[in-house]
Amino acid sequence: MIVVTGAAGFIASCLVSRLNAANFNDIVVVDNFAVEKKLPNIRGKKLREYVDRLEFFDWLDQHHEQVEFVFHLGARTDTTEQDYAVLDLLNLNYSKQMWQACVRYQLPLVYASSAATYGDGTLGYSDNEALLPELRPLNPYGESKNDFDNWAVQQAEKPYFWAGLKFFNVYGPNEYHKGRMASVILHAFHQIRQHGNMTLFRSHNPNYIDGGQMRDFVYVKDVVEVCFFLLNHRTQSGIYNLGSGQARTFMDLTLNTFAALGAAPDVRFRDTPEDIRDKYQYFTEADMSKLRSIGYALPFTSLEDGIRDYVQQYLLPDRFY
């Protein structure tokens, strides 16, 4: 059996589809299944069992001998969350419990970290673990992810294989429930179809023109392909970046969304909301050399191809992955 936490969420539900495609059907999905807006993400998938996240560790105590691998992708993913108690509970302490359970039962573990740990990028975007104590995230969400990364690498007892994946700006099918936290592509799709235009945040940094803010956008299909690689690799534990390795502008993203819809571009700007303005990352780009060094050789989808596939194969026909 393979355990996937956060299974009704965006990335984890896509991973379940990738596992099903490879004939892994004994999948135990863990989540808060009372959040009904996420449930369509896992509808129709081949699953072994549903386990509520609050009951999971009791379940694992009884079934650990049948479990082969754990993907811990569940978390509080709202980057505007200011309640440290919520983040400590879901992102830090639950992850510590997961780590300790995987140590106890010698289960391999892949868990979700985040590029939010890099803060404003002053120290660059290298996944060298020696830099972890120096990183200064810009928000409590990033702090919670960095706190766990630092805790994990300091542990004397570790799972026999483990990997923390620093997800950059992931986009693609099954993010439909995420509201404000969904990718700009999803917001652009809806706004273009409803109003014929797209509004981006104005730059408040003199080094970037409006729409010239840059992020490493990575297609969710590439993300789950890396997860699948690690399921089979199981050597060289550590923290790994997971982006495309290529920063692109929000203007690139928006113009490609117009193109995928066959619509004439009409891009407008508004001020970045004050609650995130001082915490805004103007540039991110994953250094992917570490993952490449352990044998991951597949190419990453270009922004052009990823947006075209997402819009035309999923958003327009209203499909899930």
* Residues labelled as active-site residues: 141, 178
267 labelled binding-site residue? no
3-class SS letters over the chain: CEEEECCCCHHHHHHHHHHHHCCCCCEEEEECCCCHHHHHHCCCCCCCEEEEHHHHHHHHHHHHHHCCEEEECCCCCCCCCCCHHHHHHHHHHHHHHHHHHHHHHCCCEEEEEEHHHHCCCCCCCCCCHHHHHHCCCCCHHHHHHHHHHHHHHHCCCCCCCEEEEEECEEECCCCCCCHHHCCHHHHHHHHHHHHCCEEEECCCCCCCCCCCCEECEEEHHHHHHHHHHHHHHCCCCEEEEECCCCCEEHHHHHHHHHHHHCCCCCEEEECCCHHHHCCCCCECCCCCHHHHHCCCCCCCCCHHHHHHHHHHHHHCCCCCC
Q: How far apart (Å, rounded) are the C-alpha atoms in residues 166 and 158?
A: 19
| 18 marked as binding residue | no
CA angle 10, 91, 99 (to 5 degrees): 100
Q: Is 31 annotated as a binding residue?
A: yes
- Is 249 annotated to bind a ligand? Reply is no
Residue 170 is labelled as binding a ligand: yes
Is 38 annotated in some ligand binding site? Answer: yes
Is residue 203 annotated as involved in ligand binding?
A: yes
187 is in an annotated binding site: yes
Residue 43 labelled as part of a binding site = no
- Residue 76 known to bind ligand: yes
Q: Is 74 annotated as ligand-binding?
A: yes
Known binding residue 145? Answer is yes
- The response to whether 202 counts as a known ligand-binding position is yes
- Annotated ligand binding at 201? The verdict is yes
Consult the annotation and say whether 204 binds a ligand.
yes
The answer to the question of whether 32 is labelled as a binding residue is: yes
Contact 139, 181 (CB under 8 A): no
How many whole angstroms separate alpha carbon 152 and alpha carbon 266? 46
- Residues forming the annotated binding site for substrate? 169, 180, 187, 201-204, 215, 280
- Residues forming the annotated binding site? 10-11, 31-32, 38, 53, 73-77, 145, 169-170, 178, 180, 187, 201-204, 215, 280
- Residues forming the annotated binding site for NADP(+)? 10-11, 31-32, 38, 53, 73-77, 145, 170, 178
